[in-house]
Amino acid sequence: MGIRNIRTEGDEILRKKSKPVKNVSIRTRMLIRDMFDTMYEADGVGLAAPQVGILRRIVVIDCDGEHPYALINPEILETRGLQTGYEGCLSVPGKSAIVTRPDYVKVKALDENGEEYILEGTELLARAILHETEHLDGILYVDKTDGPLVDNAELAGMTEDQKEDALEKAVELHEADYEAHAAENEEIEKMEEAETENEESGKPDGSSEQN
Ligand SMILES: [Zn+2]
Protein backbone atom coordinates (compact mmCIF):
# COMPACT_ATOMS: atom_id res chain seq x y z
CA MET A 1 0.00 0.00 0.00
CA GLY A 2 1.20 3.45 -0.83
CA ILE A 3 -0.01 5.72 1.91
CA ARG A 4 0.99 9.32 1.26
CA ASN A 5 1.22 12.19 3.70
CA ILE A 6 -1.94 14.36 3.63
CA ARG A 7 -1.19 18.10 3.62
CA THR A 8 -3.27 20.17 6.00
CA GLU A 9 -4.67 23.69 5.90
CA GLY A 10 -1.89 26.26 6.18
CA ASP A 11 0.32 24.31 3.77
CA GLU A 12 0.61 26.69 0.83
CA ILE A 13 0.50 23.90 -1.75
CA LEU A 14 -3.24 23.57 -1.03
CA ARG A 15 -3.73 27.12 -2.33
CA LYS A 16 -1.97 26.59 -5.66
CA LYS A 17 -3.54 25.79 -9.01
CA SER A 18 -2.87 22.27 -10.31
CA LYS A 19 -1.70 21.61 -13.86
CA PRO A 20 -3.46 19.32 -16.34
CA VAL A 21 -2.14 15.79 -16.84
CA LYS A 22 -0.66 15.58 -20.35
CA ASN A 23 -0.54 11.82 -20.67
CA VAL A 24 -1.84 9.15 -18.37
CA SER A 25 1.35 7.25 -17.60
CA ILE A 26 2.29 4.40 -15.29
CA ARG A 27 3.36 7.05 -12.78
CA THR A 28 -0.12 8.62 -13.00
CA ARG A 29 -1.71 5.24 -12.33
CA MET A 30 0.63 4.64 -9.38
CA LEU A 31 -0.27 8.03 -7.96
CA ILE A 32 -3.99 7.25 -8.35
CA ARG A 33 -3.55 3.89 -6.59
CA ASP A 34 -1.73 5.62 -3.72
CA MET A 35 -4.44 8.30 -3.56
CA PHE A 36 -7.14 5.63 -3.19
CA ASP A 37 -5.07 3.84 -0.49
CA THR A 38 -4.51 7.13 1.34
CA MET A 39 -8.18 8.12 1.10
CA TYR A 40 -9.48 4.76 2.38
CA GLU A 41 -6.88 4.70 5.17
CA ALA A 42 -8.07 8.15 6.31
CA ASP A 43 -11.77 7.18 6.04
CA GLY A 44 -12.41 9.85 3.42
CA VAL A 45 -14.78 9.82 0.44
CA GLY A 46 -12.57 11.94 -1.80
CA LEU A 47 -9.01 13.13 -2.24
CA ALA A 48 -7.34 15.52 -4.67
CA ALA A 49 -3.69 15.27 -5.78
CA PRO A 50 -2.62 18.61 -4.20
CA GLN A 51 -3.68 17.16 -0.84
CA VAL A 52 -0.78 14.72 -1.18
CA GLY A 53 1.52 17.45 -2.47
CA ILE A 54 1.17 16.84 -6.22
CA LEU A 55 -0.07 19.79 -8.29
CA ARG A 56 -1.79 17.75 -10.99
CA ARG A 57 -5.47 17.76 -11.93
CA ILE A 58 -6.39 14.36 -10.48
CA VAL A 59 -9.04 13.45 -7.93
CA VAL A 60 -10.33 10.16 -6.53
CA ILE A 61 -13.78 9.65 -5.06
CA ASP A 62 -15.64 6.76 -3.47
CA CYS A 63 -18.75 7.77 -1.54
CA ASP A 64 -20.06 4.32 -0.59
CA GLY A 65 -17.00 2.08 -0.67
CA GLU A 66 -18.31 0.42 -3.83
CA HIS A 67 -17.99 3.00 -6.59
CA PRO A 68 -14.41 4.25 -6.89
CA TYR A 69 -13.91 6.98 -9.49
CA ALA A 70 -10.64 8.44 -10.67
CA LEU A 71 -11.11 11.76 -12.46
CA ILE A 72 -8.16 13.09 -14.43
CA ASN A 73 -8.45 16.65 -15.79
CA PRO A 74 -12.08 16.86 -14.61
CA GLU A 75 -14.26 19.49 -16.25
CA ILE A 76 -17.63 20.41 -14.75
CA LEU A 77 -20.14 20.48 -17.61
CA GLU A 78 -23.33 21.22 -15.72
CA THR A 79 -24.68 21.82 -12.23
CA ARG A 80 -28.30 21.93 -11.09
CA GLY A 81 -30.30 22.30 -7.92
CA LEU A 82 -29.07 23.13 -4.47
CA GLN A 83 -28.22 21.18 -1.31
CA THR A 84 -27.21 22.29 2.16
CA GLY A 85 -25.30 19.93 4.41
CA TYR A 86 -22.31 19.24 6.61
CA GLU A 87 -19.02 18.76 4.87
CA GLY A 88 -15.48 17.93 5.94
CA CYS A 89 -12.04 17.66 4.37
CA LEU A 90 -9.06 15.41 5.07
CA SER A 91 -6.88 18.55 4.93
CA VAL A 92 -8.92 20.14 7.75
CA PRO A 93 -8.89 17.15 10.10
CA GLY A 94 -11.51 16.69 12.81
CA LYS A 95 -13.75 19.54 11.63
CA SER A 96 -16.98 19.99 9.70
CA ALA A 97 -19.10 22.89 8.56
CA ILE A 98 -22.27 23.55 6.61
CA VAL A 99 -21.82 24.23 2.89
CA THR A 100 -24.48 24.90 0.26
CA ARG A 101 -23.71 23.51 -3.18
CA PRO A 102 -25.45 22.29 -6.32
CA ASP A 103 -27.31 19.00 -5.81
CA TYR A 104 -26.50 17.60 -9.26
CA VAL A 105 -23.33 17.72 -11.25
CA LYS A 106 -22.20 16.40 -14.61
CA VAL A 107 -18.45 16.13 -15.05
CA LYS A 108 -16.21 15.01 -17.92
CA ALA A 109 -12.84 13.45 -17.13
CA LEU A 110 -10.29 10.85 -18.16
CA ASP A 111 -10.19 7.60 -16.23
CA GLU A 112 -6.99 5.81 -15.13
CA ASN A 113 -6.69 4.30 -18.63
CA GLY A 114 -6.84 7.70 -20.27
CA GLU A 115 -10.38 7.09 -21.58
CA GLU A 116 -12.79 9.99 -21.49
CA TYR A 117 -16.03 9.44 -19.58
CA ILE A 118 -18.95 11.37 -18.18
CA LEU A 119 -19.99 11.05 -14.55
CA GLU A 120 -23.25 12.37 -13.13
CA GLY A 121 -23.86 12.61 -9.42
CA THR A 122 -26.44 13.88 -6.96
CA GLU A 123 -26.33 14.52 -3.21
CA LEU A 124 -23.08 13.28 -1.62
CA LEU A 125 -21.46 12.31 -4.93
CA ALA A 126 -22.22 15.77 -6.37
CA ARG A 127 -20.83 17.38 -3.21
CA ALA A 128 -17.66 15.27 -3.40
CA ILE A 129 -17.07 15.97 -7.12
CA LEU A 130 -17.43 19.72 -6.56
CA HIS A 131 -15.34 19.76 -3.36
CA GLU A 132 -12.51 17.74 -4.92
CA THR A 133 -12.36 19.62 -8.23
CA GLU A 134 -12.17 22.90 -6.28
CA HIS A 135 -9.01 21.60 -4.60
CA LEU A 136 -7.40 21.65 -8.07
CA ASP A 137 -7.88 25.43 -8.15
CA GLY A 138 -6.65 26.00 -4.60
CA ILE A 139 -10.13 26.41 -3.13
CA LEU A 140 -10.96 24.86 0.25
CA TYR A 141 -14.47 24.36 1.62
CA VAL A 142 -13.59 26.57 4.60
CA ASP A 143 -13.75 29.49 2.12
CA LYS A 144 -17.46 28.97 1.53
CA THR A 145 -19.13 27.75 4.71
CA ASP A 146 -22.54 28.94 5.90
CA GLY A 147 -21.48 28.87 9.53
CA PRO A 148 -18.59 28.16 11.86
CA LEU A 149 -16.35 25.10 11.69
CA VAL A 150 -17.37 22.63 14.40
CA ASP A 151 -15.35 19.84 15.97
CA ASN A 152 -16.56 16.47 14.75
CA ALA A 153 -16.82 15.34 18.38
CA GLU A 154 -19.16 18.27 19.03
CA LEU A 155 -21.16 17.47 15.89
CA ALA A 156 -21.51 13.85 17.00
CA GLY A 157 -22.87 15.10 20.32
CA MET A 158 -25.56 17.28 18.71
CA THR A 159 -29.13 16.01 18.59
CA GLU A 160 -30.90 15.59 15.24
CA ASP A 161 -33.03 18.65 16.12
CA GLN A 162 -29.95 20.79 16.76
CA LYS A 163 -28.42 19.75 13.45
CA GLU A 164 -31.72 20.36 11.68
CA ASP A 165 -31.93 23.88 13.18
CA ALA A 166 -28.40 24.72 12.05
CA LEU A 167 -29.15 23.44 8.54
CA GLU A 168 -32.42 25.38 8.38
CA LYS A 169 -30.62 28.60 9.28
CA ALA A 170 -28.16 27.97 6.46
CA VAL A 171 -30.99 27.24 4.02
CA GLU A 172 -32.58 30.58 4.99
CA LEU A 173 -29.36 32.35 4.00
CA HIS A 174 -29.88 30.97 0.50
CA GLU A 175 -33.65 31.49 0.34
CA ALA A 176 -33.61 33.30 -3.00
CA ASP A 177 -31.28 30.69 -4.50
CA TYR A 178 -33.51 27.88 -3.31
CA GLU A 179 -36.53 29.58 -4.88
CA ALA A 180 -34.64 29.94 -8.14
CA HIS A 181 -33.66 26.27 -8.07
CA ALA A 182 -36.99 24.87 -6.84
CA ALA A 183 -37.93 23.23 -10.14
CA GLU A 184 -34.48 21.69 -10.56
CA ASN A 185 -34.53 20.34 -7.02
CA GLU A 186 -37.91 18.75 -7.70
CA GLU A 187 -36.54 17.07 -10.84
CA ILE A 188 -33.52 15.75 -8.95
CA GLU A 189 -35.77 14.39 -6.21
CA LYS A 190 -37.88 12.54 -8.79
CA MET A 191 -34.72 11.17 -10.39
CA GLU A 192 -33.57 9.84 -7.03
CA GLU A 193 -36.95 8.31 -6.21
CA ALA A 194 -36.93 6.48 -9.53
CA GLU A 195 -33.41 5.20 -8.85
CA THR A 196 -34.31 3.96 -5.38
CA GLU A 197 -37.34 2.12 -6.80
CA ASN A 198 -35.21 0.52 -9.49
CA GLU A 199 -32.62 -0.54 -6.94
CA GLU A 200 -35.31 -2.04 -4.74
CA SER A 201 -36.82 -4.04 -7.59
CA GLY A 202 -33.37 -5.12 -8.75
CA LYS A 203 -33.68 -3.59 -12.21
CA PRO A 204 -30.68 -1.94 -13.78
CA ASP A 205 -31.10 1.68 -12.82
CA GLY A 206 -30.18 3.16 -16.17
CA SER A 207 -28.22 5.92 -14.52
CA SER A 208 -24.76 6.86 -15.65
CA GLU A 209 -23.07 5.59 -12.50
CA GLN A 210 -21.09 3.15 -14.56
CA ASN A 211 -17.46 3.48 -15.28
ZN1 LIG B 1 -10.96 18.44 0.79
Task: With H, G, I as helix, E, B as strand and everything else as coil, classify residue 38.
Answer: helix
Taking the domains of the chain in order of start, what are their residue ranges?
Answer: 12-200
Q: How far is 98 from 111, CA to CA, in rounded Å?
A: 30
* Confidence at residue 195, expressed as pLDDT on a 0 to 100 scale: 85
- For residue 1, report the distance from its CA to the centre of ligand 1, in Å: 21
Active-site residue numbers? 132
pLDDT mean for each 10 residues of the chain (211 residues): 94 98 97 98 97 98 97 98 97 97 98 98 97 98 95 95 95 95 95 85 48 37
Global pTM value: 0.92
- For residue 199, report the distance from its CA to the centre of ligand 1, in Å: 30
CATH architecture of the domain with residue range 12-200? Alpha-Beta Complex (3.90)
* Confidence at residue 202, expressed as pLDDT on a 0 to 100 scale: 60
Sign of CA dihedral 33, 55, 21, 116: positive
- For residue 93, report the distance from its CA to the centre of ligand 1, in Å: 10
CB neighbour class for 91 (10 Å; exposed up to 12, middle 13-18, buried from 19):
buried
